[in-house]
């Protein structure tokens, strides 16, 4: 590891509950549309607001199952087509009756997050992705194609939402480099970081941590740091 990576590693071992932490319930959504909703609505707000949005959506869809933690089997019963059908008639109205949330992707020139959800889901549909099983079995070429198309949606160009979407969908190898993770690595090293450099260094640190903490994954490390920093 580099000197900076070693500093981040030492900070992880010193300050983080590496042996006792687990993923939160949101990483065990029962269906893929809930991953889309969470990934889009979580950007730029406090997470309880996002959790409430997903809960309200599930309630407004007839008590849709939200969480199926292990050893439960996720149903895949609610599809991307179901999501598009549910919001298509009111997407430009903030889908207020479904999400009960009219947040925008940005306070300046942003679009309604409900519209971003619709466009995100449309990209998935156009690439034959309907369920958790579909996204988990997609090859790298398809994932990269979907990511490129998602980034063209207004407010999604950074790719942070898409990385988080993959994490929520079950991908252990991704991290969501938001302000909390950036502050953690910058605090450990005393240096400024970009999203890409933080991603690289944290992935290298995770490899080193796995030698001692064998169940550690990039997704879990991201979640532990986020919980510590928030």
Domain count, the chain: 2
Co-location of 75 and 149 in the same domain:
yes
pLDDT score of 213 more than 70: yes
Phi and psi dihedrals of 104, rounded to 5?
-110, 160
What is the domain range of residue 183?
3-24+175-229
Co-location of 181 and 72 in the same domain:
no
Co-location of 163 and 204 in the same domain:
no
Q: What is the pLDDT of residues 186-211, one digit of tens each?
A: 999 999 999 999 999 999 999 999 99
Q: What is the pLDDT of residues 127-169, one digit of tens each?
A: 999 999 999 999 999 999 999 999 999 989 988 899 999 999 9
Distance in angstroms (rounded) separating the CA atoms of residues 204 and 187: 17
Co-location of 55 and 159 in the same domain:
yes
Co-location of 55 and 20 in the same domain:
no
The answer for 154, left when phi > 0, alpha when psi is -120 to 50, beta otherwise, is: beta
Q: What is the pLDDT of residue 93?
A: 66
Co-location of 157 and 209 in the same domain:
no
Co-location of 93 and 20 in the same domain:
no
């Amino acid at each position: 590891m580099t000197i900076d990576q070693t500093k981040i590693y030492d900070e992880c071992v010193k300050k983080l509950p590496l042996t006792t932490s687990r993923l939160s319930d949101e990483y065990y959504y029962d269906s893929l549309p809930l991953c889309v909703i969470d990934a889009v609505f979580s950007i730029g707000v406090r997470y309880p607001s996002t959790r409430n949005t997903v809960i309200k959506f599930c309630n407004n869809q007839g008590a849709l199952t939200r969480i199926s933690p292990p050893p439960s089997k996720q149903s895949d019963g609610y599809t991307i087509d179901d999501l598009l059908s549910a919001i298509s008639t009111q997407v430009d109205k903030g889908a207020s009756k479904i999400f009960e949330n009219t947040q925008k992707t940005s306070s300046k020139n942003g679009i309604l997050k409900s519209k971003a959800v619709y466009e995100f889901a449309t990209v998935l549909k156009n690439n034959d992705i309907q369920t958790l099983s579909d996204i988990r079995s997609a090859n790298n070429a398809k994932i990269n194609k979907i990511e490129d198309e998602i980034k063209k949606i207004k407010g999604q160009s950074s790719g942070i939402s898409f990385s988080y979407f993959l994490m929520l969908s079950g991908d252990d190898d991704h991290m969501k480099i938001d302000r909390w993770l950036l502050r953690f690595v910058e605090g450990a090293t005393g240096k400024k970081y970009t999203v890409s450099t933080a991603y690289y260094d944290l992935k290298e640190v995770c490899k080193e941590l796995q030698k001692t903490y064998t169940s550690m994954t990039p997704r879990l490390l991201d979640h532990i740091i986020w919980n510590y920093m928030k």
